[in-house]
Amino acid sequence: MKLLVVLISLVAFCAGSAIPTIPGDNSHYVEGESRYIWMPDGDGVPHLVDLEAPVDPEAADPRNGANNEYWFFSRNNPNNAQVIVHGNANTIWNSNYVAGRPLVVIVHGWNSNGNSDINSMVREAYLAIQDANIIVVDWRQHANGAYNSAVSAVPSVGQFLGDFLSWLIGTAGGNWNNVHLVGFSLGAHIVGNAGRRTGSRPARVTGLDPAGPSWNGNANALNTQAGQYVEAIHTDGGLLGIFNRIGHGDFYPNGGRNPQPGCWISTCSHSRAYELFAATVRFNHLVGRLCSNIQQAQNVQCSGSNFNMGNGIFTKRGNGIYGLTTGNNWPY
């Protein structure tokens, strides 16, 4: 009997430590056990990540967020960024920032930058429906290292973002009730830290498939203290994304797990979160149904009251777990 237990443990260890060879295929992955996982970069290209790789000692430096760049866009400059430098008020006055407009902040995930797909897709969706102040946060200096090191940099990146927003609104004007923070993957946890840094003042915070590996039970993860209303859209729960409820409103399209409709590799389901969100900003057409529990959401068996997923409404408020189905291509 003892020999059988040893053999079972050895098989489990080998399975968890085996290096997967098919790019983008995470069928081997067991949350909390597997060492390796495929993660997409900002262009959707899968990269193999070692979740036990050593962390760069400098990754947890509380000053890392000082390297953030803040790219400003509006309908006056929809494609050409104006860089606003924290502490330099002239960079605000020389930009197209208008205090009376709503403010949207977009934060990318691991192995990405300000030019990655999430930024252009969400930015263009917002500017299609209203003239807003858009801030794209580029934190590539820390995002583009090893995954574990990027995880360690998240709190500082988020806290510096929170300080920047307080300075921006305090210097040039604005209304926290018209502020929406949007983050994808690791970016979701960054906006969580940013919102908490400001004292939960943003009207709305949206986490797009908040990163899962290293984040379950992590005190620095996105939670309901990030803003007045915190929403999460789960599309790759249990793999690249957190599956557990973490917001006021948690949405589980198509069960919240891999594979999402139309996805042929595992990493596609993770990125689907920002594609769905951008579509809802433009069309506000995907409607969730209230679930009694997370199992109902996973099994797409929810039949309670309606609540729209995503969209660009700053005053959005709600609470609960919601399930829904979508199509397999834009606008879903």
Quote the number of domains for the chain: 1
**Of residues 56, 120, 166, 285, which has the active-site annotation?**
285
In a domain, 159, yes or no: yes
145 close to 117: Cβ distance less than 8 angstroms:
no
In a domain, 286, yes or no: yes
**Catalytic-residue membership of 285:** yes
**Of residues 74, 112, 149, 185, which has the active-site annotation?**
185
**Catalytic-residue membership of 185:** yes
- Mean pLDDT value of segment 2-15: 37
> Which range marks the domain in which residue 63 is found?
54-324
Give the whole-angstrom CA distance, residue 332 versus residue 316: 21
Q: What is the pLDDT of residues 143-188, one digit of tens each?
A: 999 999 999 999 999 999 999 999 999 999 999 999 999 999 999 9
Q: What is the pLDDT of residues 83-93, one digit of tens each?
A: 999 999 999 99
In a domain, 48, yes or no: no
**Of residues 41, 117, 163, 209, which has the active-site annotation?**
209
CATH number at residue 240: 3.40.50.1820
| pLDDT at residue number 16 | 57
CA 256 to chain centre: 14
In a domain, 329, yes or no: no
In a domain, 29, yes or no: no
